[in-house]
């Protein structure tokens, strides 16, 4: 029994830290939400005790007393009036605190240092960096890189159904509505990798619609930015060259973009720098050679219902494509 309780407590406590937890806030909006959450929890705990203790006391007293006391009615009126007064004051305080916390969250205070378009798809995230001159626009699907210590403005929209952008360490949820661009913002004060998750049920693979936020010092972010703006690297080895040929001649090229090649479709995630990312399949698997091979060979086994079909005709072709994609750093 004790072991079971300890395990339950450890499980509950583990939700309070980590890189996908609102109880481990890493920026001003998330901190404001966490503070509000703890304040509401504290008030609720006090109210809970304040209701249960007199209830228990009344039950005990009722059994002890045999006849009516004359003062009971007047005392009761005083107690009820006091309780009603405390309740009203509590509700007013909760409203003021909630509204003021909410006001600080809705609009970015000042200009965002970076603006990113967030586009939801079934079941992946497209992050488009457009702050730069039009030719420099690039996409970083499923992986959002941000500099630390500055507000990042996000223009969010969906291409199909309603999704919800949620990185608990950095801010609350923001729904992605088809055809309706709305704004939100995030800010990370400490470098780190934070995990986000689609928070609105959006179909079969809703649970596997994850994302990664990489918060890094500004100099490191600039290096990443420069790298991402470049077109895809040229294949070096014969196997990589073969992989590119297979990729461009197969239906892969009619869904994905690899900048610098003829593949320019926006239907699936941009693969220009796919090897630089931490995960594949929208946060479903770590980005290793083994996982990429499995994913390309049979996407439906890993993410049933995903829009990604299998087109690889032979194991050799698959290996070549994997080698090519692994070279796109
Ligand atoms: Cu997208 Cu749930």
* 5 located within any domain: no
Euclidean distance between CA atoms 273 and 270, whole angstroms: 8
* 1 located within any domain: no
* Residue 204 shares a structural domain with residue 250: no
To the question of pTM greater than 0.75 for the whole model, the response is yes
Nearest protein Cα to ligand 1, atom 1: 163
C-alpha closest to that of 191 among 157, 232, 147, 156 = 147
Q: How far is the CA of 121 from the centre of ligand 1 (A)?
A: 8
Pairing of strands 279-280, 143-147: unpaired
Euclidean distance between CA atoms 108 and 153, whole angstroms: 7
* 232 located within any domain: no
* Residue 85 shares a structural domain with residue 186: no
Euclidean distance between CA atoms 177 and 163, whole angstroms: 7
198 in contact with ligand 1, CB cutoff 6 A? yes
Of 81, 103, 125, which marks where a domain is finished? 103
Q: What is the CATH classification number for the domain harbouring 280?
A: 2.60.40.420
Burial of 202 (0-12, 13-18, 19+ CB in 10 A): buried
Q: How far is the CA of 201 from the centre of ligand 1 (A)?
A: 5
* 57 located within any domain: yes
Of ligand 1's listed atoms, the one at least distance from the Cα of 123 is 1
118 in contact with ligand 1, CB cutoff 6 A? no
**pLDDT of 18:** 86
* Residue 207 shares a structural domain with residue 127: yes
C-alpha closest to that of 144 among 126, 164, 130 = 126
* Residue 221 shares a structural domain with residue 147: yes
206 in contact with ligand 1, CB cutoff 6 A? yes
211 in contact with ligand 1, CB cutoff 6 A? no
* Residue 123 shares a structural domain with residue 94: no
200 in contact with ligand 1, CB cutoff 6 A? yes
pLDDT tens for the chain, 329 residues long, are 667 766 666 666 555 678 999 999 999 999 999 999 999 999 999 999 999 998 998 888 876 655 556 667 888 889 889 989 999 999 999 999 999 988 878 766 555 678 899 999 999 999 999 876 767 789 999 999 999 999 999 999 999 999 999 999 999 999 999 999 998 999 999 999 999 999 999 999 999 999 999 999 999 999 999 999 999 999 999 999 999 999 999 989 999 999 999 988 989 999 999 999 999 999 999 999 999 999 999 999 999 999 998 877 888 899 999 999 999 99
* Residue 138 shares a structural domain with residue 193: yes
175 in contact with ligand 1, CB cutoff 6 A? no
Of ligand 1's listed atoms, the one at least distance from the Cα of 161 is 1
Q: How far is the CA of 266 from the centre of ligand 1 (A)?
A: 19
Give the domain extent around 81: 15-103
* Residue 53 shares a structural domain with residue 27: yes
Of 80, 103, 126, which marks where a domain is finished? 103
176 in contact with ligand 1, CB cutoff 6 A? no
* 230 located within any domain: no
Q: How far is the CA of 305 from the centre of ligand 1 (A)?
A: 13
173 in contact with ligand 1, CB cutoff 6 A? no
202 in contact with ligand 1, CB cutoff 6 A? yes
Name the domain count of the chain. 3
* 10 located within any domain: no
* 7 located within any domain: no
**pLDDT of 1:** 63
Peptide bond into 69 cis (omega under 30): no
Q: How far is the CA of 208 from the centre of ligand 1 (A)?
A: 8
188 in contact with ligand 1, CB cutoff 6 A? no
* Residue 216 shares a structural domain with residue 130: yes
* 43 located within any domain: yes
**pLDDT of 12:** 61
C-alpha closest to that of 326 among 284, 281, 285, 271 = 271
Burial of 229 (0-12, 13-18, 19+ CB in 10 A): middle
**pLDDT of 313:** 82
* Residue 167 shares a structural domain with residue 260: no
For the chain, the straight-line distance linking the first and the last C-alpha, in angstroms and rounded, comes to: 51
Q: C-alpha angle 143/146/150, rounded to 5°?
A: 155
Of ligand 1's listed atoms, the one at least distance from the Cα of 199 is 2
Of 225, 247, 265, which marks where a domain is finished? 225
Measured in residues, the chain has a length of 329
**pLDDT of 46:** 94
Of ligand 1's listed atoms, the one at least distance from the Cα of 163 is 1
**pLDDT of 7:** 66
* Residue 192 shares a structural domain with residue 276: no
């Amino acid at each position: 029994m004790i072991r079971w309780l300890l395990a339950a407590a450890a499980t509950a406590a583990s939700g309070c830290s980590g890189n996908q937890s609102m109880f481990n806030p890493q920026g001003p909006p998330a901190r404001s939400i966490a503070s509000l959450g703890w304040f509401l929890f504290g008030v609720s705990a006090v109210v809970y005790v304040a209701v249960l203790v007199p209830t228990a006391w009344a039950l005990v007293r009722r059994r002890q007393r045999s006849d009516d006391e004359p003062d009971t009615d007047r005392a009761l009126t005083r107690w009820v009036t006091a309780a009603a007064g405390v309740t009203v004051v509590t509700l007013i305080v909760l409203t003021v605190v909630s509204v003021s916390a909410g006001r600080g969250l809705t609009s970015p205070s000042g200009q965002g240092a970076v603006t990113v378009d967030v586009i939801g798809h079934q079941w992946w995230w497209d992050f488009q960096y457009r702050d730069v001159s039009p030719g420099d626009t690039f996409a970083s699907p499923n992986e959002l890189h941000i500099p630390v210590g500055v507000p990042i403005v996000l223009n969010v929209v969906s291409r199909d159904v309603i999704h919800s952008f949620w990185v608990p360490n950095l801010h609350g949820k923001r729904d992605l509505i088809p055809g309706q661009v709305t704004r939100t913002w995030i800010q990370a004060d400490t470098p780190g990798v934070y995990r986000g998750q689609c928070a609105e049920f959006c179909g079969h693979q809703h649970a596997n619609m994850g994302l990664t936020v990489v918060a890094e010092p500004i100099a490191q972010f600039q290096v990443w930015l420069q790298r991402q703006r470049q077109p895809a690297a040229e294949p070096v080895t014969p196997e990589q060259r073969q992989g590119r040929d297979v990729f461009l001649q197969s239906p892969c090229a009619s869904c994905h973009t690899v900048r610098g090649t003829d593949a320019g479709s926006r239907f699936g995630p941009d693969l220009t720098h796919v090897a630089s990312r931490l995960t594949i399949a929208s946060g479903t698997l770590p980005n290793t050679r083994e996982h990429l091979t499995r994913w390309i060979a049979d996407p439906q086994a890993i993410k049933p219902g995903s829009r990604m079909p299998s087109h690889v005709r032979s194991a050799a072709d698959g290996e070549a494509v994997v080698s090519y994609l692994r070279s796109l750093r």
